[in-house]
Structure 1
């Protein structure tokens, strides 16, 4: 960008250097593979919570959120409305299993519950989906740099991947978390400044702008239709996307690995609850910005809608604003990429290299291997990132659609693991194959929209897995130790404490404070109704 200027460049460069320095200082605490994966379990819960938020509310939301609602209106808020319910389910069902077992890779649960093949399938699915997510993050960051510098996006992707690799190689989940804290704060400051500037530049009041948007059909948030061909309805948001996001947050190594770095299970749960309460406000802000941009630009078509925020920041003319926005987006995106590379390297090392190639090597050897696998994954994400660069729609929407093909299998594999008595590994794998086949057919041959792919895939997977297990292996005599019923029996028989610091260690037992998430969900639904009715 010709008008980026010295001040903006200074802000961007200094901010990146601060992150690199923080990463370098904190990486000195990494002395073993365990330090690289989980740190020393002294990180406070609020820092982990901010880290989770920064990882998922990054450039994909800051750029892609407004781009999505700019084209589709505020109705897409329904896709993001379910986070309180999601976190409620994750901290009740998923976290106790993972935290109590002391695992590094959450996919080790699949081996303990079903067998090695189930663990391998789940790990591979994670690596595929996370590589795509990382590529989208890299693309979003490259988009900012290309917009600023004038270089093409592909060149920016290559350059940024090298920078992100250097930062990641300093390693350690502790360094990742604490740099995320800074990045989350800067990202939200940038978003608030842009929102204020947008309101300031509106030719009329906010109320009048919302009325005009309502007349254009851009403020129809609550769509109660049962049409499966419409992606953003109340039912797709509350049912389909709750299932989708439960998998994203409960069966995702990149997210759960942070919770495993918490001091205790209470801190792990509180870190997730932070996101459960904050997500509504963050996504509402980003999506509201998108429809306001639609009004401000009078529905003008952009060559790439993901540049709307940057275009406005450049036009506004406030000294340093574009530098702050660019720094926030670039740093947050590189943080997401750092986190993904760390988790991908962890799964590759623990689930494959350590298990099948070097079983009894030293912790220092696995640390070195993890860092080399970080390099490998950094190289592998460049190709899909370049493919994302050819897309002109919202990167947030594109990423969510891509992930919807895979989450049904992950959800059903954990759901069956938690609740089913008779599901076996052979039956489970048959169900996974059937679920993929049905989702592919639905996606390519029907008008059903992508939010329902998870529910459809999971439903088919669960049904086929259960029936196939009965046919292949017969009825099982008792519940596995790694089901919820099995865990309750084990705790009872071994006399283990069911609580720690007032928080339940038992999977399936709801903490009293967790009910606040359910109350908050209904409060947000009512608030959206009143907001729409009041326009």
Structure 2
């Protein structure tokens, strides 16, 4: 612990105090439960967009992406090719339903479309999956604190939880967003310094390093293998992981909730579009860093691959660098944890407590309950984080993605059926979701199919079984639900309501013009990657 040094401790402590101070300042503006969930709907779209990006990048990318690329090479980028089409789908089909309803919990949609049981089911599935994902974030951060400062990993898990909990309880979603903006800056600063140091310490020019890596098969970004047991193929990235990420960005309360704090639907969409245009560059940066580490260390094995970036920073010896890296990883971690705490609290309060236990209490009561639920979930998340510490040694980014893939198929199927199916009923949906989860569990345990395909398998089984069960139990429906895509189109036409707001579509299924530019960017990234290895 003494090796960390006074300068590094000063940097880390100042960073922590700055987050707590910001949470305290913002807490002065939180006087209602809606303020806690949605702020005052005055947050700039760019801040929300940075918060969305920072939340998903997190400590898993800072540590896990270089670790994963160290092992599997540039082909890991395939998993992250799909953000442009994913964002197009989400802002076209999902956002209009959520934003027009003016709800704080996106799972309210399931009740309107199907019923109370469907809402409780999807909310429960999300609470479980988000708890496991957030625990992985905590575990990743504990690795950093232990490696850099000497603090035991379990103690690190508890410390980071308490810090993120304090400012989230005080400031709600507004504190989450603005601390994420600051934390993203710290994260990029730390990553930039590491990349500079990596290039500076190399004895050969970067192009020569890439040429050496090419000879070792580490620079091939596009793997067209049709083997379903292979994780990092183009097919798993573009098709299977597109479904996975549609669920992450379209049906995940943690991701969507901050966009509901935007001033209008246009700002909500712009915040996600920022993610669509920037995510590729962020992941490409960290993955390139990972293969350069492979060349730097000549492919030597590590007991825990997630510590590669930390080992290099320690060896480089720049004064204050370890303090910046510790702050960067804590920033990445807390940008995910604060979002999780706030959204877990929101869903617990609105979808369960208010819905089933205390439906007619005062606004002050729900604000207090939301804060107590925040504390509750922070305590719960510590348990699986310790389990990750005890049993996980691979890339934490891959671990997190794999854990999440067990649940996303069920969520995607439920929303997809709500949007597009005419005959899906609540009772049929409950049957289909159960069978879908069983199908994913069977695939995971008894086959060698790679985890990116779990979402596709779960969603497909859910949709097919739900439609069959719905018709068998409740019969065919005479018309589409008002909360389906076709139902919404008809409702707008019948009411004569405006279909756009400041040039942005309000009707689900209507594509905004900027989406065509985003799709063009997607094509550009494919061409760029296809050409990358040719020019090394």
Q: TM tier, shorter chain?
A: over 0.9
Do the aligned residues in 1 keep the contact of 2:81 with 2:238 (CA within 8 Å)? Answer: yes
Aligned residue number for residue 457 of structure 2? 456
CA distance in 2, matches of 1:314, 1:520: 38
CA distance in 2, matches of 1:57, 1:450: 20
CA distance in 1, matches of 2:160, 2:336: 13
Helix, strand or coil at the partner of 1:257? helix
Measured after TM superposition, the shift of residue 414 of structure 1 is 0.5
CA distance in 2, matches of 1:205, 1:7: 32
Aligned residue number for residue 432 of structure 1? 433
CA distance in 2, matches of 1:254, 1:439: 23
- Is 1:83 aligned to 2:83, yes or no? yes
- Is 1:49 aligned to 2:55, yes or no? no
- Is 1:317 aligned to 2:313, yes or no? no
Could you give the per-residue CA deviations for residues 90-109 of structure 1, whole angstroms, max 9, x where no partner exists? Answer: 00010110000011100000
Number of aligned residue pairs: 535
Aligned residue number for residue 250 of structure 2? 250
Measured after TM superposition, the shift of residue 175 of structure 1 is 1.2
Could you give the per-residue CA deviations for residues 120-147 of structure 1, whole angstroms, max 9, x where no partner exists? Answer: 0100011001101111111112111111
Measured after TM superposition, the shift of residue 519 of structure 1 is 0.6
Helix, strand or coil at the partner of 1:172? helix
Measured after TM superposition, the shift of residue 2 of structure 1 is 4.2
Aligned residue number for residue 219 of structure 1? 219
Aligned residue number for residue 67 of structure 1? 67
Aligned residue number for residue 523 of structure 2? 522
Could you give the per-residue CA deviations for residues 268-290 of structure 1, whole angstroms, max 9, x where no partner exists? Answer: 00000000000000000011111
Q: How does 1:138-153 map to 2 (within 5 A)?
A: 138-153=138-153
Aligned residue number for residue 267 of structure 1? 267
CA distance in 1, matches of 2:179, 2:155: 26
Measured after TM superposition, the shift of residue 159 of structure 1 is 2.5
Measured after TM superposition, the shift of residue 171 of structure 1 is 3.0
Helix, strand or coil at the partner of 2:406? coil
Helix, strand or coil at the partner of 2:415? helix
Could you give the per-residue CA deviations for residues 44-71 of structure 1, whole angstroms, max 9, x where no partner exists? Answer: 0000000011111111100111011111
CA distance in 2, matches of 1:51, 1:156: 24
Aligned residue number for residue 163 of structure 2? 163
Helix, strand or coil at the partner of 2:3? coil
Measured after TM superposition, the shift of residue 508 of structure 1 is 0.4
CA distance in 1, matches of 2:159, 2:339: 18
CA distance in 1, matches of 2:116, 2:258: 24
Could you give the per-residue CA deviations for residues 392-429 of structure 1, whole angstroms, max 9, x where no partner exists? Answer: 11111000000111111111100110000010011111
- Is 1:480 aligned to 2:481, yes or no? yes
Do the aligned residues in 1 keep the contact of 2:168 with 2:175 (CA within 8 Å)? Answer: no
Aligned residue number for residue 381 of structure 2? 381
Measured after TM superposition, the shift of residue 442 of structure 1 is 1.1
Measured after TM superposition, the shift of residue 534 of structure 1 is 1.3
CA distance in 1, matches of 2:380, 2:171: 18
Q: How does 1:377-416 map to 2 (within 5 A)?
A: 377-390=377-390, 391-416=392-417
Of 505-514 and 324-333, more deviation after overlay is shown by: 324-333
Aligned residue number for residue 419 of structure 1? 420
Measured after TM superposition, the shift of residue 153 of structure 1 is 0.8
Measured after TM superposition, the shift of residue 161 of structure 1 is 2.0
Helix, strand or coil at the partner of 1:52? helix
Measured after TM superposition, the shift of residue 492 of structure 1 is 1.0
Helix, strand or coil at the partner of 1:330? helix
- Is 1:36 aligned to 2:41, yes or no? no
Do the aligned residues in 1 keep the contact of 2:80 with 2:237 (CA within 8 Å)? Answer: yes
Of 135-144 and 498-507, more deviation after overlay is shown by: 135-144
CA distance in 1, matches of 2:199, 2:281: 17
Do the aligned residues in 1 keep the contact of 2:3 with 2:149 (CA within 8 Å)? Answer: no
Aligned residue number for residue 468 of structure 1? 469
Could you give the per-residue CA deviations for residues 495-535 of structure 1, whole angstroms, max 9, x where no partner exists? Answer: 11100000000100000111111111110000001111112
- Is 1:23 aligned to 2:23, yes or no? yes
Do the aligned residues in 1 keep the contact of 2:91 with 2:272 (CA within 8 Å)? Answer: yes
TM-score scaled to structure 2, two decimals?
Answer: 0.99
Which ranges of structure 2 fall in alignment gaps of 5 or more residues?
Answer: none
Do the aligned residues in 2 keep the contact of 1:75 with 1:223 (CA within 8 Å)? Answer: yes
User: Over aligned residue pairs, what C-alpha RMSD do you find?
Assistant: 0.9
CA distance in 1, matches of 2:165, 2:16: 14
Helix, strand or coil at the partner of 2:90? helix
CA distance in 1, matches of 2:29, 2:171: 10
Of 250-259 and 3-12, more deviation after overlay is shown by: 3-12
Do the aligned residues in 2 keep the contact of 1:171 with 1:342 (CA within 8 Å)? Answer: no
Q: How does 1:167-206 map to 2 (within 5 A)?
A: 167-206=167-206
Do the aligned residues in 1 keep the contact of 2:62 with 2:332 (CA within 8 Å)? Answer: no
- Is 1:289 aligned to 2:284, yes or no? no
Do the aligned residues in 2 keep the contact of 1:12 with 1:326 (CA within 8 Å)? Answer: yes
Aligned residue number for residue 104 of structure 2? 104
Measured after TM superposition, the shift of residue 9 of structure 1 is 1.0
CA distance in 2, matches of 1:9, 1:191: 19
